[in-house]
Amino acid sequence: MASSSIKPADLESFQNHLRYSDRVLALCGAGLSAASGLPTFRGAGGLWRSYDAVSLATPEAFARDPGLVWQFYSYRRHMALQAQPNPAHYALAALARRKKGFLTLSQNVDGLSQRAGHPASRLHLLHGSLFDIKCTAFYCNYTESNNFTDPIAPALAIPKGGPSPASLGTATSGAGATESLQHAMHGAGSKPQGGKELDISDDRVEMPEIDAKDLPHCPRCGDGLLRPGVVWFGERLPEKIINEVDNFIEEPKKIDLILVIGTSAQVYPAAGYIDKARAKGARVAVVNMDRADTGRGGLEKGDWFFEGDAGVLVPELLKSEIGDISNTERRAGNREDDG
């Protein structure tokens, strides 16, 4: 693992506080998965083919062209499955197994925390998951979690003819994983071979239109189209999860620490959780590549800011509690029951 730039005094003071912290929150954003090389499709210029990715993430877009929307999300599912959880995912999962008062609030939909063995009862997905699906029929409430079938329907298979993605399991930093993923999708450094997958995020690559009858349909009602179980723009966040998070925060006991990892925390409710945790006594520790991303309220005396790659920094910060994140421990984490 690459060395970090954490100052020894900051590391010591943080780990001393963590040692005596019983109730801890982690608020995670796209920066947590950056070390796995995943594109985020967020912000200005976030294009998929020639489409503004945000414009595809709406109920209206799905009603208008479900085939196109499913191609976008099938691509994202495929890319997420080509990526691997990075050391930060495993470190948070290990902390969740060791501290019963630990709760992760993730804005990510990529399924990497689940694949890292993070206990489900201590992982709340604020924006849903690419690997959850649900029926769109009005009278049907069918849902399914952690469906990692790829492709989810034969018609959504990635067209072939170019280079196939390679495993990202050996990348240990965001830059390395991103370069590996780009090389895999664009064929850099590899010999052309027939039958390889094309990068359909590039609008120069032909992509067939898909009829609604060839999209995933509900196994329960038989008629309704299935859709990704993510929270689209214009939709409310899952009420059950929001209530569970609020109940955790509002317990009489104080909150000792909130980790803010890879997120600018500018959008509610995520932005509000930092203030709520602070009001319950929490100190704030921010891990981010950009020193300007400290949340709406900024930092206060006694808080920490750790600048750099979450995949490198988080395991080091948590090492005093979880030990080294080795391949052996990762496999053990995936086998461990949810406690």
The 10s digit of each residue's pLDDT in 273-296 is: 999 999 999 999 999 987 765 555
Query: Given this model, what pLDDT does residue 294 score?
Result: 57
Q: Which residue has better confidence, 84 or 45? A: 84
Residue 252: pLDDT band with limits 50, 70, 90: very high
Percentage of residues in the chain having pLDDT higher than 90: 64
Residue 22's SS3 state is coil
Average pLDDT of the residues in 39-56: 73
Task: Give the predicted TM-score (pTM) of the model.
Answer: 0.83
Residue 185: pLDDT band with limits 50, 70, 90: very low
Q: Is the peptide bond before 238 cis (omega within 30 degrees of 0)?
A: no
Query: Given this model, what pLDDT does residue 169 score?
Result: 46
Query: Given this model, what pLDDT does residue 322 score?
Result: 95
Q: Is 45 exposed, middle or buried (0-12, 13-18, 19+ CB in 10 A)?
A: exposed
**What residues are paired with 28 via a beta bridge?**
106, 261
221 is in an annotated binding site: yes
- Strand stretches in the chain, DSSP E: 24-28, 47-48, 51-52, 102-106, 123-125, 128-135, 143-144, 226-230, 257-261, 283-288, 304-307
Q: In whole angstroms, what is the distance from residue 201 CA to residue 213 CA?
A: 23
Q: Which residue has better confidence, 165 or 83? A: 83
Query: Given this model, what pLDDT does residue 266 score?
Result: 65
Q: In whole angstroms, what is the distance from residue 62 CA to residue 230 CA?
A: 12
Assess whether pLDDT exceeds 70 at residue 333. Answer: no
28 is in an annotated binding site: no
Give the pLDDT confidence of 67-95 residue by residue, as tens digits: 999 999 999 999 999 999 999 999 999 99
Query: Given this model, what pLDDT does residue 295 score?
Result: 56
Q: In whole angstroms, what is the distance from residue 158 CA to residue 156 CA?
A: 6
Give the pLDDT confidence of 96-145 residue by residue, as tens digits: 999 999 999 999 999 999 999 999 999 999 999 999 999 999 999 999 99
In the block, tokens 């319950």 appear at: 280
Cα-based distances in Å from 285 to 48, 113, 139, 278: 33, 20, 45, 11
Assess whether pLDDT exceeds 60 at residue 2. Answer: no
Query: Given this model, what pLDDT does residue 138 score?
Result: 92
Length of the chain: 339
Query: Given this model, what pLDDT does residue 332 score?
Result: 47
Q: Which residues contact 157 (CB under 8 A, 6 or more apart)?
A: 151
Q: In whole angstroms, what is the distance from residue 115 CA to residue 106 CA?
A: 14
Residue 81's SS3 state is helix
Catalytic residues: 127
- Tokens describing residue 9: 């005094």
Closest among 101, 63, 35, 70 to 209, alpha carbons compared: 70
**Is residue 227 within 8 Å of residue 234, measured between CB atoms?**
no
Query: Given this model, what pLDDT does residue 293 score?
Result: 58
Residue 163: pLDDT band with limits 50, 70, 90: very low
Assess whether pLDDT exceeds 70 at residue 261. Answer: yes
Q: Which residue has better confidence, 21 or 292? A: 21
**What residues are paired with 318 via a beta bridge?**
none
Q: Which residue has better confidence, 241 or 326? A: 241
Query: Given this model, what pLDDT does residue 46 score?
Result: 66
Strands 51-52, 47-48: pairing is antiparallel
Q: In whole angstroms, what is the distance from residue 105 CA to residue 20 CA?
A: 21
Q: In whole angstroms, what is the distance from residue 64 CA to residue 84 CA?
A: 33
Mean pLDDT of the chain: 84
Query: Given this model, what pLDDT does residue 44 score?
Result: 43
**Is residue 87 within 8 Å of residue 315, measured between CB atoms?**
yes
Q: In whole angstroms, what is the distance from residue 308 CA to residue 94 CA?
A: 21
Query: Given this model, what pLDDT does residue 327 score?
Result: 52
Strands 24-28, 257-261: pairing is parallel
Q: List b or e across 113-134, with b for residues whose CB sees 16 or more CB atoms inside 10 angstroms.
A: bbbbbbbeebbbbbbbbbbbbb
Give the pLDDT confidence of 53-71 residue by residue, as tens digits: 888 999 999 999 999 999 9
